[in-house]
Structure 1
């Protein structure tokens, strides 16, 4: 992906989706979380974001808050636990631990 493609295709979709979902709110209230990929840091991208009034949240290169588990393991658990109600935090923790134990070890690789 190049910065040109990103600006012309991706950012235009972000703007359209933002306008569609929140028509009374300007894009200046839109926040994006970018990583350090080249197209995200390119001059064309930053200029386009500035023109659209979209703010970019700072993102450390290797944030411990964004572990790979956030993208592969937790969505699985979330889907499996969807719709269940827990009266106590301990019950939720037990259910999450139980669900994580059902994931095969090779999926952690």
Structure 2
């Protein structure tokens, strides 16, 4: 895990906020995994407006980060949707938290205990999902 960015309560993601998160990601990569930037960064995005906005595209072009295209309405191609949120929900199921800070602490703790293989599995499981998507001509399999 390189960056866990939790949006403050009541805020929503817009283009500026997203680019700020990308800046934090760039800084975190530089600090935690310096060789990664030399080998290139590839992001998988959906087609949300904030991601296709001019400001975001300019940011990505400036830093030369590549984007993997993502068919619309395809949660089965987003590792966060098919690989991450389910296990996190199961981990949190039935737990009670006194406040938001306690919940955030539990989420951070859960992420900190995941080993690299967990994330590697999520990325490698993309290949058969992409192959299925291509076979379906870009349509979601859901």
Bin for the TM-score computed over the shorter chain: 0.5 to 0.7
Question: Match of 2:14?
Answer: 2
Distance 2:22 2:52 in 1: 13
Deviation at 1:39, TM superposition (A): 1.1
Which residue in the other structure is 2:49 paired with?
38
Indicate conservation of the 8 Å contact 2:70/2:77, yes or no.
no
Unaligned stretches of 5+ residues in structure 2: 1-12, 92-109, 115-142
Quote the Cα distance in structure 1 between the aligned partners of 2:39 and 2:46. Answer: 20
Decide which structure has the larger Cα Rg and report it.
Answer: 1
- Of 86, 108, 121, 1:73 maps to 86
2:39 and 2:56 map into 1 onto residues whose CA distance is 16
Q: Over the residues paired in the alignment, what is the CA RMSD in angstroms?
A: 3.0
TM-score, normalised via structure 1 length: 0.56
Q: 1:60 aligns with which of 64, 68, 71?
A: 71
Shift of 1:41: 0.8
